Structure formats: C-alpha cells, structure tokens
Structure 1
C-alpha cells in the first residue's frame, strides 16, 4: 500500500471536488443572483414559504453555509426580518442535499463527459448566460471526477486489515465521530464533501452504517461555523440568525442520536445502495428537523432577541459586512442600505438643523453639524473602500453598473454634507460683525431651502426605491429652482436702501450653496435614471 499515493489521491480528489462545488455555485449565483433577490422578497412572508425559499436558495448555491451567509447578509441589510430568516435557514439545509443525492446515482463514470461539455459550452459561448451554464456543468463534472479519484484512492486502504482495525476502533464512539466530522466540515466548509468521503468508505465496507450516520450528523453541525463567522461584524439580527441556525442543527442531532437505530431501520426499509441510504439519511435528517422546528420559528426568533441584546456603537457601520463580499448581490444591497442610512443622517442631523442657524439664530446647532460632518466622512470612506472590494469580485454587467452608480451617489452625498458644513460656518461672519439678516432675507432663504430640501429627499427616495418617475421629477424641478435663486438674488440687490456688503456676502454664499446642494440631488436622480 503506497501511503503517499493514497494521500495524494484523497487530497487531490477532495480539492477537485471542492473546486467543482465552487464553479457550480459561482455559475448558479451569476445566472440567478438578481432573480434570487426578488424571489426571496416575495416568498418570505410566512415560515412555510420561507422554508421553500431556503430550499431553492441552497439548491442554487449548493451550500447551506453559503445560503445561510447570504440570508445573514439579507437580514443585515434589513431586507429580511429575523422571523422571516428562521424558515429560510431551515429550508436551506434541505436544498443542499441535492448534490449528495446526485453522487448516490453513481454518475462518477460520466464525470469527464460533464467536464468536456462544460468546457465546450464555456469556450463557444457568445452570451454570459451560456458561459454560466457551462460553468455549472463543468463544476458538477469536477465534483463527480473528484469523487471518483477519492473512491479509487481508498481501494487499497479498504483492503488493509490494519487500517480496518484502527478505523473501527477510532469510530466506535459516535460522539467522537460526530465531533471529528463537525471539525472536518468546518475546515473545508462543505458538508457534501464530508458525506461523500463517508460514502466512499461505506461502499468498500470500511464503515458501518452507524458510523456513516454519525458523520452525517457531524457534517450538518459543521456547516454552521461559516455562518457564525460571517455574522461576527454584522447587525444583531444577523447574529441572531446565525446562532439560530447553529441551534437548529444541534437540536436536530440531539433528537436523532437516541433514535439512530430506528433511523437506520427506516433507511434500510427504503432500500437502495449504501450510498443511497447515506444520501437519504442526509435528506431525511433535514426534512424531519424542519418539520419538528418550523412551528417554533417565531418563538426561536423571540428567544434569540432576548439572548443577544442590542448594542450599538457610533463608530461601526450599520450595514457593511465584510463577510458578504463573496456574494456581490448581498454586498450591493448592504451598500445601498448604508447609503440610505448616510442620507438619513445628513437629512436629520445636518440639513434640517441648518435653517434655524439663520432664521432663528440657533448658532448652538453649528457644533452638531460640524461633528456630524466628520461622521459622514467616515461613512463615505467606508462605503468607498467597500465598493472597491466589491468591484474586485466577479460581477455581472448589472452588478458592475450598480456598483458604479453607488460610487457616484456616495460622492454626491459626501459633497452635500461638505456644503452644509460650509454653510453652517457662514453664520460666524454675521455673529462676528453683530449683523442680522432682514426678515425678507430670512423668508427668502427659507423658501429656497424648503424647495432644495424637498428635492434632496425626493432624490434619496428615488435612488432607494429605483423610482424613475420621481427621479425625472427631481431633474425637471432643477430649472425652477435655478430661476427662483436668480429672482431672490435680483430682489436682494434691488431692496430699498441696498444691502450691506457683509450681509450680501453671506446671503449670496447661502443661495449659491443651496444651489450646489440641489445640483448634487439632480446628480443622484440622473444616476438613478442611468444617465452616467
């Protein structure tokens, strides 16, 4: 028995298997990412539909870990509530059993056919869609080829009495076997690969069904690690989703362990090869787990809320999540929500308090605006770097365009905050010279301010909601605001007695600043309309 050849065969086969999973998942994500987003929004209104959505999501991604990470990202972005996520997480576990069921069909003999077809489609493809389909077929070809390599590499091992004696001794304790399978799955981040290895050993008679079932239990628990890690820097609801996912798996295993003997009898009654029985064990475990826990999803959500308390830090980003960067669809949603959050802060903490500085002599607010402007700069830099990291990923044409639009909007929002900060500082000129604006000047500033502020709010809303009609309204409103500014400027210089030079300087700067803010609002609306 050549130990080096065996090790290389197993590790090489596992590597090709995992690479195939990555290719298939990447192809499916690229071809279905946009549809998945709208699909999840529609079907997560109750837990039953949510579990079905989870099955579809995991079947597309071919990884319950990846599916749960994506769900954590949706929760973090505020597109899915904690309660909605519970059913999706449970359903995602069933969707990933598809790969294991396919392996049990013994399609490994046709692995190179899949590889050849996938490569051919990728090379001759004239559209991105065909390329993605080629990637999917090529990925599954590598999955089956990797499985065949591992099976062939293990043949000499299974014929060794020394290995058999050691393996039986090492796996005699089901708890230890579960822990080993959990650790291995957590390391490779793929439960299908762990179960595929169990199938390889079981076919040659090296593993009992009891041990194979224990590995299935451990593989299911091991999938939770990736989601837990992905939630570390996410929102509290996202963390609650990840912890609930872990508890679902652990509770399921604790329920099944005492009934393992009965479970094996059910599997044997269903019939099929050893591989099929192991694949069925994986599927049935997750189906039964869903049926047991689905009625208690809302209770779980409430329990998670009590278990993981809210704790906010002003220095943290609200939605940006590094762990979602592998899922551009989710990462872009995170960015959009962070931009909305940034716009809300500008509106509430900077724009609205600006007017009282001049019309109500509320100079105390100036410090708040200056402080908030530093916070906006921090958000701007964070969003900018996050978008840079997104653009380094493999994006669809739509995702590339969306990331560019968000870069433009980020610049416009930061520009608005800078202008508001400048305008708040203008009042120092008035206070330093003990000069007040006239009642007419205050009223005229208020008129222009209200129009510009409304346009800003409309611009933010049209970007958030992708509302082209509202975006068009903002763009069409621009000439009217420019005319109003010119009228106010004209009236100011033609008032009886004429204005003082110091008042004129501040007044003109205010009008000009509001006009510049409005131009940024128009820019945001034009970006929404695709005019970039």
Structure 2
C-alpha cells in the first residue's frame, strides 16, 4: 500500500470516527437535551453537586463543549454563580472520559449489531425518541467500526521506513505533540474522537506511551478552545467560565508534560497501548478536578478581577440575550430568543401607550419618538430572526421545532404591530396635528378604551407565549371576538354622531374610522399568539364558515 493510499484511507477513517461521534452527540441531544439542561440547572447549589451534575450530563451527552455552553449561559444569565459553573466544567472534563474507557475494551463484534439495531430503530421507530436512540446506536457502531479500521491501517508492518522516520521526528518533542493535538481537537470539535484516534495510534505501535500521553494533553487543551472561541466578542462575564476552564487545562499541561517519563512508569503496569492512553486521559482530568475543586473560589476571584463586567450598551436596539455560542444547543438558543422577543414586546407596549398620548396631546415629539422606536423594533426583529435561522436543525426535535416556530411567529407579529403603529397610526396622528383637529369627547373615549384593551391583551399574549397556558390562550381569542364587537359598536356610534351633526365628528370622520380599523388589525396580531397552542390542543375550528 502506497503512502498516498494510506493517507487517504486514514483521512476517511478519521472522518468516519468524527461522524460517528457527531451522531451519538446529536442523537442524545435530540432525545434528552432539554431534560439534561433541566437536570444541570437544578444541581447547582454548591461546587460539589455542580461537579457531579457536570460529570453526569457529559457522561451521557459526551460533549464537554455543549455542557460548557450551558454552564456559560447559566453564569452569564446570573442563573448560577461563577464557582458552581467552573465546577460544572471540571465535572464535564471527567465525564468525557467515560466513553473513552468503555471503548478501550475490544468491542469490535458489537459494531455490526449496533448499526443493525440502530437502523431498525431509526427506520421503524414509531416514537421520535426511539428514532433518536437509533441514531445513537448507529453512531456508536460507526465509532467502533472506525476504530477497528484505524487499528488495521496503522499496524507497524504497513508503515515504511521513511514514513516511520518522519513520524519519529514529528513526535519527538512532547510540546509539539501537544500543540498538534490541540489544534486537531479544536478543529474537530470533539476531544473524544481525537483521544480515540490517539488510542488507535498507540495500539498500532505508531506512537510510544510518552508521545500518546503528550497527545492526550493536547487534545484536552484543544477541546477547551471551542467554548472559549465561541464566547469571544460577548460580555466579559460570559468569558469567565471558558477562560477558567482553559486556565485549568494549561496549568495541568504545564505540570504534566515535564513529568511524562515518570508518569509512564507509574501507568504502564495498569495497561499498555490504547489502555494506557485511556487511563492517562482519565487520570489527567481526575487529577485536575481534585487539584482545582478546592481552589475554585480563589479562581473565581481572579477571573472577576481579570474580566470585570462592562456596562451594557445604551443602544436599545442592540440584542442582549442572543448568545452566538449557544446556537448548537437548541434548548439554550430558544430560551435566549424568547428573552429577546420579550424585549420586542416591551418596545411594542411603549409604542402603543405612546400612540394614545400622541392622539391626546398632539405632541409632534411623541410621534417622532414612536417612529424611532419602530426602528429599534425592526433591528431586534431582524436579530431574532437571523439568530433562529442559525440554530442547529440537526439537534432540533419536534418540541424544539414547534417552539422555534412559535418564537418566530411571535416576533413577526410584534414587528407587524410596530409597522401599523409607525406607518398608519402615527401618520394619522401627524395629520391630526397638522390640521389642528380634535376628536369629540365620546370618540376620544372610544379610542382610549380600545387602546387600553390592546395593552391588556398584549400582556395576556406574553403570558401565553411564555407559559403556554391553554386557558389564557382561549381567553385571548375570546377577547378578540369581544374587540371585534367593540369595533362594530364604535363605528355605529360614530355614524350616529355624524347624523346628529357633531362638528368634531364631521371633521375627524376619516381619521376616526382609520384608527379604529388599525387598532382592530393590531388586535388580530396580538391574538395570533394563541393560535399555535390552540391548534396543538384541537381547540380551533378549521373554518368559521357554516
């Protein structure tokens, strides 16, 4: 086999290994992602319980990057203190060693069985979770298959003397080995896959024990780079957890790399080849956890001093909750988008309140301020929309997909309300001011009542959006029917005043009818928040026609 053939074969087998790990992680995230996030958030009382929570979640998920994003989100959102968040990362680092220890055993015969069972579950599974678990089984089967193929490819007798000499040169310096493995782990976004590859190299005799250990150290550093790189550009407080995690890895590397010959003598009796690399991976992360867990309060103080919080920007159109690093974890990303949508609702509420004041006071500055608020609303809507489009579709289950649609629909309806207020109501307010018109007392009272109802309904729609309460959704739709009746009565009374010859009514008849029409349109967009929930529960008719 030529060197080119060996290289292409190795690259394909590594790609298969990475894809198998990806299938395992995405399948588990789809099946249990929301539950794992809830489990993680409920076990943050102190650093020790947080460590166990991080270990347990990552042992199931096998992605310290995903766990790190959750911990960073909790810390940035002030849901958890910095010390437990750092403890989660220490637990997550130990949790990634579980599958490495399991796969260090010879389980080659399980590969075809896992792929068969996984394909049957994925194709024939009636429930979504069964299909997701089938995806996990196929991923595990592919991982085992790729490890077997890698071991067969890299056996010593298939490596020529020149290739062997080049490998010896590249692996002669532990620091270079660690750096190379760190870059590979960072690019692969999966330290588990890199460690498994190192185990295959060690099992095939391509690298000796000290070199394999140096590569494992580098893989641990590389996986800490992923959450750090994804947190760059955010608030400084959001950087504390990934920076703290990186500091622990670098400190461990600085302690371990000079001691590799001694560590090799200690760990060799416990196993050789792949087993030695797996044992060192576990021992490295356990040692870091034992060393830094008591020191986390001091580390938290250091991180707060190095990364002080910056004041939030005064620009209200700048998103505050759209964490770019969380788009790969749907449960976190959707929660962030929902929080930003609530900021849009606050802007809409101010615009509705301000529009009533503009009609009552005739203040041109109020009209200009409301038009400026619509620009804020448009920018927030665009940010939420583009953020939701970036959420990983592969990790979305049916529940997450439904929630994404609800958030997007809620944001779109809020943006439409803002357009109606800006381009219709404020144009009418400006016309009223320019022509020095005034509504009749009864006409103004009708407009005021409709505005107040809209504000109350907006608050009810927010409750439906956040809590998903079915009774509130029914009430919101019922309020829409009552609002339609209110609009009909207001129109009839307006025509009665016209027939009676009320001067203000005659002067403002077009303005009044247009305002009532636009307020009704706004009510329709508010009530639309209830439709997805009612459709799921079967609470809506297909048509109002008899």
Same fold (TM over 0.5): yes
Deviation digits for residues 255-313 of structure 1 (CA, Å, limit 9, x no counterpart): 444555564455346x2344233212212222232333334545555654552643636
What corresponds to 1:477 in structure 2? Answer: 479
Q: 1:79 to 1:201 in 2, by over 3 A?
A: same
**What is the TM-score with the length of structure 2 in the denominator?**
0.85
Q: 1:448 to 1:299 in 2, by over 3 A?
A: farther
| CA positional deviation for 1:149 | 1.4
Distance 1:389 1:65 in 2: 18
What corresponds to 1:130 in structure 2? Answer: 130
What corresponds to 2:340 in structure 1? Answer: 338
Q: When the two structures are aligned, how many residues end up with a matched partner?
A: 529
Distance 1:437 1:194 in 2: 74
Q: 1:122 to 1:494 in 2, by over 3 A?
A: closer
| CA positional deviation for 1:481 | 3.7
Distance 1:59 1:18 in 2: 18
| CA positional deviation for 1:237 | 4.2
**2:523 counterpart of 1:521:** no
Distance 1:265 1:217 in 2: 17
Distance 1:362 1:304 in 2: 50
What corresponds to 2:432 in structure 1? Answer: 430
Say whether the 8 Å CA contact 1:86–1:241 is kept in structure 2: yes
Q: 1:465 to 1:252 in 2, by over 3 A?
A: farther
Q: 1:487 to 1:318 in 2, by over 3 A?
A: same
| 2:357 counterpart SS class | helix
Within 5 Å, give how 1:253-272 maps onto structure 2: 253-257=253-257, 260=260, 263-264=263-264, 266-268=266-268, 271-272=270-271
Within 5 Å, give how 1:117-266 maps onto structure 2: 117-156=117-156, 166-232=166-232, 234=234, 236-257=236-257, 260=260, 263-264=263-264, 266=266
What corresponds to 2:274 in structure 1? Answer: 275
What corresponds to 2:355 in structure 1? Answer: 354
What corresponds to 1:372 in structure 2? Answer: 373
Say whether the 8 Å CA contact 2:352–2:451 is kept in structure 1: no
Say whether the 8 Å CA contact 2:178–2:217 is kept in structure 1: yes
| CA positional deviation for 1:220 | 0.4
Say whether the 8 Å CA contact 1:235–1:318 is kept in structure 2: no
Distance 1:176 1:254 in 2: 13
Distance 2:295 2:494 in 1: 68
| CA positional deviation for 1:32 | 1.3
| CA positional deviation for 1:47 | 3.3
What corresponds to 2:543 in structure 1? Answer: none
Distance 1:262 1:272 in 2: 15
Q: 1:240 to 1:315 in 2, by over 3 A?
A: farther
Q: In structure 1, which of residues 501, 506, 510 is the aligned counterpart of residue 511 of structure 2?
A: 506
What corresponds to 1:37 in structure 2? Answer: 37
Distance 2:295 2:415 in 1: 45
| 2:319 counterpart SS class | coil
| CA positional deviation for 1:143 | 0.8
Q: Which runs of 5+ in 1 are unaligned?
A: none
**What is the TM-score with the length of structure 1 in the denominator?**
0.87
What corresponds to 1:86 in structure 2? Answer: 86
What corresponds to 1:294 in structure 2? Answer: 293
Q: 1:156 to 1:268 in 2, by over 3 A?
A: closer
Q: 1:181 to 1:385 in 2, by over 3 A?
A: closer
| CA positional deviation for 1:456 | 0.3
Deviation digits for residues 141-185 of structure 1 (CA, Å, limit 9, x no counterpart): 111111111111111368766655554454343222221221222
Deviation digits for residues 215-272 of structure 1 (CA, Å, limit 9, x no counterpart): 1211100012322332245555444433333223223323444555564455346x23
Q: 1:394 to 1:100 in 2, by over 3 A?
A: closer
Q: Which runs of 5+ in 2 are unaligned?
A: 541-546
Distance 2:535 2:49 in 1: 34
Distance 2:167 2:123 in 1: 45
Q: 1:360 to 1:48 in 2, by over 3 A?
A: farther
Deviation digits for residues 451-497 of structure 1 (CA, Å, limit 9, x no counterpart): 22021012113202323333333333334444444455555555686
Distance 2:466 2:300 in 1: 28
Deviation digits for residues 39-78 of structure 1 (CA, Å, limit 9, x no counterpart): 23323344333333322332333222343345556667x4
- CA RMSD between the two structures: 3.2
Distance 2:506 2:260 in 1: 89
Say whether the 8 Å CA contact 1:13–1:148 is kept in structure 2: no
